[in-house]
Amino acid sequence: MVRQGCITEAQAAKAKVEPWRLASPTEQFNFKAPHFSVYVRNELEKMFGADMVYRGGLRVYTTLDYNLQQQAECVARAQIRRLSGEDEQKVIEEAVASGCEAARYLPPLRAASRGKDHYVTNAAIVVLRPGTAEILAMVGSLDYWNEAIAGRYNAALGLRQPGSAFKPFTYITLLSQGYTPAQLFWDVRTAFQQPGQPPYVPENYDRKYHGPQRLRLALARSYNIPAVAALQLAGVDNVIRTAHRMGINSLGRGTGYYGLSLTLGGGEVSLLDMAYAYSVFANYGKMIGKPTTPKGPGYRDLDPVAILRVEDRHGRVLYEYQPRERQILSPQLAYLMISILSDRQARWAAFGHPNSLELSKNRPAAAKTGTTNDFRDNWCVGFTPQILTGVWIGNSDNSEMANLPGSEGAAPIWHAVMEYAHKDLEILPFPRPEGLVEKEICATSGEIPTEDCPCPRTKELFIPGTEPQPSCNFYQKLRVNRETGRLCTIFTPPELCEERVYEVYPPEAADWLASLPEDQRPPLPPTEYDTIYGPVLADADVIITEPQPYSYIGGEMVPIVGSAKGGDFAFYRIAVGKGLNPTEWIQIGPDHYNQVDRNVLEYWHLAGFEGLYTLQLIVVDHSQAVRQYAIQVTVDHTPPMVKLTNPEPGKEYTLGKDEWVNVNADVQDNYAIARVEFYRNDEEQPFAVRTIPPYNVNWWIKEVGEQRFRAVVYDAAGNRAESEVVKIKVKPKEGQP
């Protein structure tokens, strides 16, 4: 490693005469790596005081790998040029010709991104040796002297939102609580309730839902909805405490300040802190560094290292770095995160193959990207056993980039720096520590399959005591009448029954399933039992088939359909009584002396009825024998109530900045809701329908002007209610017509 003297003897001698002139960058930093040099100077002042630093003739040996620093700087400049619309091949050729070998390793841009200006002007890079916490390179900006990008500001130390690069802190907290990489999450439309606030409705980067996702897949593919669910399980306070212990020195506004968006990067952190915190994963749970005064209770007491040794003018050693260690996570817990972040195949569904997070020669690497919602920040942080690199790109004025995710912006820089840094290093694996067990699980549910479970299988790692028990019930074998498609009963002829395997989905997945193309929609298990055969058959002459048992009915009148016939038939009548076991009966209509076979028996006028009733068909024979059939129904005349609680009336949105308007309906009913329809403006058809709570939808902003929203709700009995109209305004982005 090339060691660079941060402050030379000549500079120190000059400082004795005119120490104040060191405040001038041209005096102090007439050499490379200025941001790193400033960082070192500040560290020296903390250690020895300003007077000693400027007048003591110190010789300082730093951790800087000057060659790697130069390559990191030039490859970042090349990537920003590519993202500014310059010819990709020309940029790389010019960079390589000027000595930027790392530019050879920049992955090609997507065809859709080539020649496009993504409005990005700056970048920062930190390279660490995780085993020693040495800072090998620190790029604080593309050009220290460029005032247009606030070049002197060290973006590696500044606070920015990390996007999904923060997710590992959420998931490691959850894993520490006994959850496992096999934990099942449902990546479906979800409105997370927040007391006193509108529901939080996250969307995935690809604006799609992906159904059942095990924790390993959800993190590797960076799906947002499972990450928010994970944060809700783990607890916001617990995740913040984990982040502090692992090295994040920000997020100090109090746990009540941060909500569910924290897991998607809703808090601000520095690139150096992120890199240092990720080194805890790379070191199998150990934090390595030099002692420091904690920022507060629960914060780290070690720092990454930029200074290896300090000598005075006589060569006497005043300081020499001796690494200290803290065990923050167990090796087994840290390895679970390493295993997920280095799982190439797990991320292919979202990132494709090959992608910028994969290093050549199948070199194992653990990495995570991050993107903020409005493309203000791009991140990529990742490591091998030897080197850890963190990359941020964005704009110093916090302005938005144009449609640039971390996988296309920061990740290619990460890839190029890592490839260059490893070109002469042997390929090392991430060895699995003792104390983990491997189990075969259902690839869909994450549960241990039973002997007859037909689910696809895979293997997963568990900390002993956390592995699930054999109980997979996502795939279920059911006996079905092949003629009717209904569930067999003991009365169904055996020759008509066959075993069928169904995937059993929870209610919250109903809308997602309905949105799938028909050829991708799995067959759902039947919910009705076979009633053609069995005891009812013997009494099929006396039966009510409509309304259905325990159904909800409303309106002015309903037909009662069924059969009343056979035997020594004399007449039939219909009666109704309040409750499950009525003590009083009211006859509906007259006695009927004609036999009925699967047709209308009577019309029930519902005026004056409300609540649960028992409906009874009575057939009287000439012999005075009585045959009966009864069902229970609920009469409901009370319309539901609906109110749009979001968006706020009159609120303004900006096309191109705000992606969607969240429309939330507060719905109440005395019994059950059938569906909620969401309408915009004067459109005759709803733009969304929700059948399960919470009744919430995002309307994607595609046009400017006034927008009017309303919701129409139907309860299970068919009663209808409509909300008041809420008006909002969508305005064009500044500079647009």
Could you give the CA distance from residue 641 to residue 723 in angstroms, rounded to a whole number?
A: 8
Q: pLDDT value at position 200?
A: 86
Which phi and psi (to 5°) does residue 660 adopt? -150, 165
Contacts of 90 (CB under 8 A, 6+ apart): none
Q: Which pLDDT does position 492 carry in this prediction?
A: 85
Q: What is the pLDDT of residue 31?
A: 54
Residue 654 included in any domain = yes
* Residues 292, 295, 297, 303, CA torsion sign: negative
Q: Are residues 547 and 489 located together in one domain of the fold?
A: no
Residue 271 lies in a domain: no
- Give the mean pLDDT of 85-112: 96
The label of the residue with tokens 């299970």 reads 716
Q: What percent of the chain has pLDDT over 90?
A: 74
pLDDT, tens digit, 9 for 90 and up, residues 344-368 = 999 999 999 999 999 999 999 999 9
- How many domains is the chain built from? 3
pLDDT for 27 beyond 50: no
In a domain, 556, yes or no: yes
* 525, 504 Cβ separation under 8 angstroms: yes
Q: Given this model, what pLDDT does residue 449 score?
A: 87
Residues 543 and 621 in one domain: yes
Residue 512 lies in a domain: yes
For 18-124, where are the alpha helices, taking DSSP H only? 25-28, 34-48, 50-55, 66-83, 88-97
Last residue of a domain, one of 606, 635, 664: 635
Q: Write the burial class of residue 736 (CB in 10 Å: 0-12 exposed, 13-18 middle, 19+ buried).
A: exposed
Within this chain, do residues 568 and 656 fall inside the same structural domain, yes or no?
no
> Residue 28: pLDDT above 70?
no
Query: Do residues 648 and 630 both lie within one domain?
Result: no
* Same-domain check for residues 631 and 543: yes
CATH of the domain at 677: 2.60.40.10
Following DSSP, what letter does each residue of 494-536 receive, concatenated?
A: GGGEEEEEEE---GGGHHHHHHS-GGGSPPPPP-SB--SSSHH
The answer on 603 and 560 residing in a single domain is yes
Q: Does 531 fall in a domain?
A: no
Clarify whether residues 562 and 614 are in a common domain: yes
- Do 615 and 550 fall into the same domain? yes
pLDDT above 70 for 568: yes
Q: Which amino acid is at 334?
A: A
Cα–Cα distance measured from residue 135 to residue 123, given in angstroms and rounded to the nearest whole number: 17
Query: Domain residues for 722?
Result: 641-731
Last residue of a domain, one of 635, 655, 683: 635
Does some domain include residue 668? yes
Q: Which of 342, 337, 380 is nearest to 172 (CA)?
A: 337
Give yes or no: residues 713 and 654 share one domain: yes
**Who's near 40: CB < 8 A, 6+ residues apart?**
6, 7, 60, 62, 306, 307
Closest CA to 476 of 518, 512, 509, 442: 442
Instruction: Say if 357 falls within a structural domain.
Output: no
What residue type is assigned to position 390 of the chain? G
Q: Within this chain, do residues 654 and 721 fall inside the same structural domain, yes or no?
A: yes
**Rounded average pLDDT over 270-278:** 98
Confidence check: pLDDT of 159 > 50: yes
> Given 614, 635, 656, which residue is the final one in a domain?
635
The kind and range of the H/E element at 176 are helix 167-176
Let me know if residue 166 belongs to a domain: no
Structure tokens at 89: 């091949």
Same-domain check for residues 544 and 621: yes
Q: Are residues 505 and 582 in the same domain?
A: no
Q: How confident is the model at residue 255 (pLDDT cuts 50, 70, 90)?
A: low
User: Burial, 5: exposed, middle or buried (Cβ in 10 Å; 0-12, 13-18, 19+)?
Assistant: middle
